[in-house]
Amino acid sequence: MKKRETKGLLMIIATLLMMALFIGSGSVAYAKKGGFKHLTWQDLDNGKVVKIGAYSFKQANGATYYKKTNAAGAFKKAPFSITSSCTDGKVVYYIDKMELKKYTLSSGKIASVKKIPRSPKEDPQDPDNAAVDHVKGNNIYISRTSWGEWGYRTFIYNMKTQKLTKSFTGAISIAKGDYVVLDMKFRTDVSTAPYILCKISGSTLKKVKQLSQAALSVNIVGNKLYYIDYSNKNMSAGTFYRCNVDGSKKEKLGSFKCSNKYGMISVSEVTSKDCVLYMDGASYRYNYKTKKKTKLAN
């Protein structure tokens, strides 16, 4: 989420939360072949280099670097974060100080494209910020975080008409193809929120279903969504589910409950066969088929 800023402790907490929302999102080619793509943290995790068009991109020390794939020489530091932008391998659309900008990779030229509307309740001490969260066809989806308004709002910019066409409540947590998962609750702490699965239809989003009432994050592996629906605010009990990206074929993978009501359950390193389950202060490798938990060394 790696993407929404504020100051002091709140900035640290929010950043951790946004990172949790994105970890597990493994799809690169969201747009059709040759179109624009939005990369996630996982796409570039562990020093991975991703090729889009004639250019290669990588992340290092919190910064984005790029170079022409077949050209000699070192990677060049970019003025944008590739995980908060979209590119077709020729130009990059990104947000800088609440303004959508276009960066031409071959020349390094930066052009101002469109200012993103600020909230009427924007807090001068914690200004609004925004990031590119998805791209589909000609539409770029830009999520705005407003601490003054205490909420998220997503705007759609059409590259063909060069206009902001629509906006809606919520921030895109993850997306693949025509489907997006919206985070509907603004948070300053590691807490749950309702998630809604929607399908892109032209320039609008159509609700498919309520994915969860109280989840911390949603992961995507292949064509499956994975998430825990918590049964209490402490996140000490919940059920782990997966379903197709269109919301069909929902499957229960396991139910968990901490021995301490103030404990917390979470999952990470999610794969199609298992995940790392954290509960009661320990980490386990959890197998979906056998339901077996194998404790991991600290």
For the segment 7-17, what is each residue's pLDDT rounded down to a tens digit? 443 433 343 34
**pLDDT beyond 50 at 18:** no
pLDDT at residue number 252: 97
| Order of all β-strands in the sheet with 85-87 | 85-87, 91-95, 99-104, 110-115
pLDDT at residue number 146: 93
Q: Give how far the C-alpha of residue 115 lies from the chain's centroid of Cα atoms, to the nearest Å.
A: 22
pTM listed for this prediction: 0.81
For the segment 164-212, what is each residue's pLDDT rounded down to a tens digit? 988 899 999 999 889 999 998 887 667 888 999 999 988 788 999 999 9
**CA dihedral sign, ordered 208, 212, 215, 220:** negative
pLDDT at residue number 7: 40
User: Rounded to whole angstroms, what are the CA distances from 88 to 39, 71, 80, 180, 265?
Assistant: 11, 18, 15, 20, 39
pLDDT at residue number 165: 83
pLDDT at residue number 20: 38
Average pLDDT rounded to a whole number, residues 126-140:
94
Mean confidence (pLDDT) of the chain:
86
